[in-house]
A and B are shown apart, each in its own frame.
Chain A
């Protein structure tokens, strides 16, 4: 079989410069080899730092952020592209090999119309005239299912949605009729309901144009839908490489098995859902510019249980958490906590009321002051609420660090010296330090790798048992909801669509939106995408 792309013993290194110490060589990718035939899709999968993007970019002979390709070969159609030099490689980039970035919103120039950006590389390479390129773009917009393909190119990036932008980026990559496209996590930043459309569009476009692709992602369920082969990477080394079928159904390595069976946490819902701790009654809220973000939302959470709020971005789920904390005062309705009505605005709440409700943010990076050590971060609530100082405070900080399974060796570290999962654990410890009764978790695991996220979920569940905590858990991941929730609220555009115990909300009969949401969650099953799309088509044919 003729291989379009053949990577042999690839080695990529970078130099790091720790101050006060001599520069150090770091190996990012070590001895990775794979082959990709024409028209096939290879999925590269692994957690962050596994070197998947770095490998993907090597097919463009590009090293990001000081990374250098120091060994091996990258053969494109039999020619090694690494020694080609700047002008040689320029003929390949954007013409024969194209790249689709993770964040289309950041990758498009906001000052130019989409149409011009989509055809820019193709025209620049002289592959087509401007007119031909426009026709090709129009065809691709149709293939990718973009609305109003004739006028789509006249819009600016901010005028279209995230999912459409990602498809426009795919159109840009496909425009020059490349032999190979590198998709670098193209759907990671999208909602599940959007992700499925983009996935279907990408899959259809690949099949229609016969191009080969490298598909980089951390989500095994996604890659199972789109790839022919899968390579599992960890710490820059290959863990396992094989056909999709084999990886999903009969993984050989322990790490792959862990990835496949990542969601093991599961909990039955609590039978008794009385004894209400938090009650939200007919709450509406709006931004200061008068934009209404919540419409008449009512729900409640029993003591010691978990309420999951699901919905896509913009559905108002985080806003609801902000209303409960008082960061965004509600304009109508009541928020009742432990039988006591909370004032809408945070400034008027007593210190004890503030202590009892804590919030954990999605991005632990920005939620902690980068200039404070772990001791300061966790210790401040202890001093602030309980007046702990000196040895008593240090002892309690260590106790909390043990509780989040990190140990006292971390007390003097700064957030920048922690990994993503450790940061989120410290954020949890900070919330715990206040001895709260309710913790609002705003997508605490969505920025983390699956295995790390699983660890955080387990920690949260254990803490709930130990401390009798109640959680409001905001997420867009139905899998997490199934695993940890007692009751579920589904939100859509600021409205509460569905609310009740987990067993009722996640069981038919569904309303249209919940149905769509549930069906959009990728499952680790080959052929899932086709199945969902087929049922959708049938549904639309019925209408």
Chain B
């Protein structure tokens, strides 16, 4: 792969994601103030000592944004990856095996989907201990129902193709058929879904934080910061818009990269020649 073949839009996306990840990793060094440190008056305007102003408790907004990147990205990314692994493995197994396995998995999936996601999450999180791993797992399991639906639909289309039959005829096992024959041919819709799911994960995490079941204060996360500062909007204070903008920018960047990957994976000529 040549770097020059990467389009400008993808470069913008890569740059945005790189900045966010850099901020997340080196938060301790680049943040001017501590994560929960109260440094001044509440809702100070942008500029001066505080580049982005302060929040509803007088904490530095820029510092919290940088620390928030760490929790938001890691939790949303972990949840999305787990959710995809789970959804895809189950859905592909169902599509390839068929019969009873397919029926049981699909009906269980329908059962999960019939309960509204947020309510299901609230109930489960209220019962289980407050813990970041449990949070990630719950988000992933609930979201994986959507991935399962999509994964099964696209995998079924590919599973009836003759080259899959040829692989079965060769005596290949399920693992090979799923990962080598079917997965590469379903990557395009799944990647598109991944971009979307990642953005939704951030929003879902924000919703949970807003309701008090997500990231627990004083730890910062972007969704929680929107919630903390939402009252300021009434007084014309833009503090809530800063983390909101960060969420939007990250989602856009991820999707720019995904769009480019999508173009590459949907090419049947390995990304060369016309597709």
Contacts and interface: CB of A to CB of B under 8 A. Distances in A.
A110 interface: no
Given A363-B162, A416-B269, A369 B169 contact: no
Interface stretch (A13-21, A213-221, A491-499): A13-21
A327 interface: yes
Contacts of A451: none
A430 B180 CA distance: 16
A18 B274 contact: yes
Interface string B175-213: 000001100110000000000000000000000000000
B264 to A, nearest CB: 10
A408 interface: no
A395 interface: no
Contacts of A18: 273-274
A64 B269 CA distance: 24
A98 to B, nearest CB: 34
12 contacts: A18-B273, A346-B169, A351-B171, A358-B169, A359-B169, A366-B162, A367-B163, A369-B163, A372-B184, A373-B270, A416-B269, A430-B166
Interface residues of B, number: 21
A415 interface: yes
Contact of A327 (B169, B184, B185): B169
A327 to B, nearest CB: 7
B171 A354 contact: yes
Contact of B172 (A325, A361, A384, A414): A384
Interface of A: 16-20, 325-327, 346, 349, 351, 354-355, 358-359, 361, 363, 366-373, 380-381, 384, 414-417, 430, 434
A414 B268 contact: yes
Contacts, number: 64
Contact of A366 (B161, B184, B273): B161
A384 B173 CA distance: 11
Given A371-B185, A414-B270, A417-B269, A327 B170 contact: no
B5 interface: yes
B231 interface: no
Interface string B109-130: 0000000000000000000000
B275 interface: yes
Nearest to A360: B166
Nearest to B181: A369
Contacts of A370: 185, 268
B41 interface: no
A248 B165 CA distance: 43
Contacts of B165: 327
Given A19-B274, A19-B275, A368-B163, A381 B170 contact: yes
A372 to B, nearest CB: 8
Contact of A369 (B168, B171, B185, B270): B185
A363 B163 CA distance: 10
B4 to A, nearest CB: 9
Contacts of B163: 366-369
A354 B170 contact: yes
Contacts of A366: 161-163
B209 to A, nearest CB: 40
A16 B274 contact: yes
B268 A415 contact: yes
Contact of A384 (B171, B181, B270): B171
